[in-house]
Amino acid sequence: MTLAPYLSRRALPFWPLFAGVLALLILAPVVSVVWLAFHPTENIWPHLLSTVLPRYLLNTLRLMLGVTVLAVVAGTGAAWLVTVHRFPGSRWLDLALFFPLAVPAYVGAYALVDILDYPGLVQSWLRQAMGWQSARDYWFPDVRNAWGASLVLGGALYPYVYLLARAAFREQSGTIHDVARALGAGPYRLFWSVGLPLARPAIAAGVALALMEVLADYGTVQHFGVQTLTTGIFTTWLTAGNAGGAAQIALVVLVMVSGLMWVERAGRAQARHHGLSRADRPIRPIPLAGWRGGFAFLFCFLPFAGGFLLPVAVMLYYAWAAPSGWLSPDLGRALAHTLLVASLAALVTVALALVVVFGLRSARGRWAGRLSALTALGYATPGAVLALGLLIPLASLDHHLADLVSVVTGRDPGLVLTGTATALILAYVVRFFGVAQGGIAAGMGRVAPSLPMAARMLGRGQGGALFGVYLPIMRGTLATALVMVFVDSVKELPATLLLRPFNFNTLATRVFEQASLERLHDAAPAALLVMAVGLCAVVLLIRGDHR
């Protein structure tokens, strides 16, 4: 009896310490990139600065500007219309506008180019209808440029703005809107003077999330031939063979990502502050009829059609035209590989996130909160940057382990970490740790503090409280986190391209490889499977939003 309290007190530091070590390991790839950037084998920073880096940076900023405009206009406008107004189709559009989240941007890029390029449906129909014989007979805008890429990325990423702006509009006080209308504010004045200022922090947070995805994108910009910072990492590392130069470009990306993370966190904090002033009565929707209702429907339908219907329709057409693609052994292997690595990554990520969140919550001091915030950096960091930070140290460790085993046993075990899918799974864990961490932290915060306290009074330690109290209550939260990490792992392309073993394809890399060869009939089945998995995350998002 006298020994149990002593053991309990001695065990208290274990969880915070263990969680802190795991959190530092999650941050290790980012730290590795920074170290490589400041200690390159061959410093080519002056060469990069005087040649390609300005072009990479300018193209990246151009993409970010285009996506910002499209995401703000489409996301904010659609959110305002479906929240504050009622018009034909507004109820199903309220949900349908989430659906482009299920479509990876690179799939949308392949679909748009296939429709609008010279041999595509639109130009072929124009030549046939007008009797034109070649491209010299007419002018058609070139979609393979930065603005075409911005259009695709904007159509795929506007739901980030739509999601947060919609929530901000729904949280606004109906009384404030009624007072503004009583003072003579029309629909436009109501939006510009009341609705938009209150929702601005949430919109800024949504834009920051969308721009993080722009920085992380590789498949879209590569297909459109746009040289960005991410493509520069690939080129400098794989083509020029200079990992230090690639790390220096990656450091520029990390600085931009850190700024966007600050904007996103500040926006969310201010959005929560505005949410506290909500009155007891929600906004009463204003009906729109006639041409106004038709315009509102068209305004909301176009982003949904461009971001979801178009890529799905194109891929369904090619899958239907060449059904033999579904029977390809390569597709079966890619599906098996995807299920294997995504499932393992989801299980490991959620388990680690559970331990880290629980351990840091039980720690005392500001260091725990700061460390917890830093671990979310992996989600904001592009996959190409994480791959660089993982592969270099893992390859060195792999060779040392192989040499050690060879000396001890006389056998060469090969590359256990980088020669298998282990490095790829680790990249997924680091990349999507923030997804699981955020969901688990929110779920753990909903558990009444009296329950773990009661467990402690009954003699259960912190581990007992975790497994006996938190886990049974948080089963739904953990299942949601598993699905979200699984879906994100299935869609991830840059890290998979860089870290996959030889002759190891996933669904995402199969789509990329076949589409790069202009073989959409072979890419379509894998693309449809990726989008079907993405729909699972969208369904979970919609269900959580309507609880």
Residue-wise pLDDT for 33-72, tens only, equals 999 899 888 888 898 999 999 999 999 999 999 999 999 9
Residue 294: band (very low, low, confident or very high) from pLDDT cuts 50, 70, 90: very high
pLDDT value of position 299: 96
pLDDT value of position 77: 95
Query: Residue 535: which of 483, 478, 477 has the closest Cα?
Result: 483
Cβ burial, residue 35 (10 Å; 0-12/13-18/19+): middle
pLDDT value of position 96: 94
Beta bridge partners of 286: 85
pLDDT value of position 365: 64
pLDDT value of position 22: 82
Q: Where are the beta strands (DSSP E) in 34-153?
A: 85-86
Mean pLDDT calculated for residue range 487-492: 93
Residue-wise pLDDT for 349-369, tens only, equals 999 988 888 887 777 667 767
User: Which of 23-32, 106-115, 376-385 has the highest mean predicted lDDT (pLDDT)?
Assistant: 106-115
Does the pLDDT value for residue 134 go beyond 50?
yes
Residue that the structure tokens 């038709």 belong to: 294
Residue 271: band (very low, low, confident or very high) from pLDDT cuts 50, 70, 90: low
Residue 11: band (very low, low, confident or very high) from pLDDT cuts 50, 70, 90: very low
Containing 391, the helix (H) or strand (E) segment is helix 383-409
CA–CA separation, 463 and 484 (whole Å): 26
Q: Please, which contacts does 178-186 make with residues 24 or more away whose CB atoms are closer than 8 Å?
A: 178/284
CA–CA separation, 458 and 99 (whole Å): 48
Query: Residue 318: which of 532, 144, 121, 98 has the closest Cα?
Result: 121
Residue with the bigger pLDDT between 469 and 246: it is 246
pLDDT value of position 69: 95
Mean pLDDT value across the chain: 85
Amino acid letter, 232: G
Residue 281: band (very low, low, confident or very high) from pLDDT cuts 50, 70, 90: low
pLDDT value of position 2: 43
pLDDT value of position 8: 44
Query: Residue 82: which of 162, 164, 158, 196 has the closest Cα?
Result: 162
CA–CA separation, 547 and 532 (whole Å): 23
Residue-wise pLDDT for 188-238, tens only, equals 788 887 888 888 888 998 899 899 999 999 999 999 999 999 999 999 998
Query: Residue 106: which of 213, 237, 265, 264 has the closest Cα?
Result: 213
Amino acid letter, 373: A
Q: How many residues does the chain have?
A: 547
For the domain 54-321, what is the CATH superfamily, name and number?
MetI-like (1.10.3720.10)
Does the pLDDT value for residue 274 go beyond 70?
no
pLDDT value of position 448: 67
Q: Where are the beta strands (DSSP E) in 27-91?
A: 85-86
CA–CA separation, 409 and 227 (whole Å): 48
Q: Provide DSSP, 499-544.
A: HSPTT---HHHHHHHHHHTT-HHHHHHHHHHHHHHHHHHHHHHHHH
pLDDT value of position 55: 95
pLDDT value of position 7: 40
Query: Residue 386: which of 480, 483, 257, 502 has the closest Cα?
Result: 257
Mean pLDDT calculated for residue range 161-177: 84
CA–CA separation, 363 and 94 (whole Å): 42
Helix (H, G, I), strand (E, B) or coil at 287: strand
pLDDT value of position 544: 67
Helix (H, G, I), strand (E, B) or coil at 86: strand
Q: Provide DSSP, 354-387.
A: HHHHHHHHT--SHHHHHHHHHHTHHHHS-HHHHH
The reply to whether 54-321 shares the fold of 1-39+323-397+413-547 is yes
Residue 10: band (very low, low, confident or very high) from pLDDT cuts 50, 70, 90: very low
Phi, psi (5° rounding) for residue 129? -70, -35
Flag the least confident range among 121-135, 325-339, 501-515: 121-135
pLDDT value of position 523: 93
pLDDT value of position 151: 94
Does the pLDDT value for residue 3 go beyond 50?
no
Residue with the bigger pLDDT between 190 and 278: it is 190
Flag the least confident range among 87-101, 171-185, 249-263, 348-362: 171-185
Pick the CATH number of 1-39+323-397+413-547 from 3.40.47.10, 1.10.3720.10, 3.40.50.300, 3.20.20.70: 1.10.3720.10
Beta bridge partners of 282: none
Q: What residue segments make up the domains of the chain, in order of their start?
A: 1-39+323-397+413-547, 54-321
Residue that the structure tokens 């130069």 belong to: 245
pLDDT value of position 82: 94
Beta carbons within 8 Å of 480's beta carbon, 6+ residues apart: 439, 540, 544
End-to-end CA distance of the chain: 46
Residue-wise pLDDT for 426-439, tens only, equals 999 999 988 888 88
Residue-wise pLDDT for 299-317, tens only, equals 999 999 999 999 999 999 9
Q: Burial letters for 246-264: b for 16+ Cβ neighbours within 10 Å, e otherwise? A: bbbbbbbbbebbeebbebb
pLDDT value of position 153: 95
pLDDT value of position 540: 81
pLDDT value of position 470: 73
Mean pLDDT calculated for residue range 530-544: 85
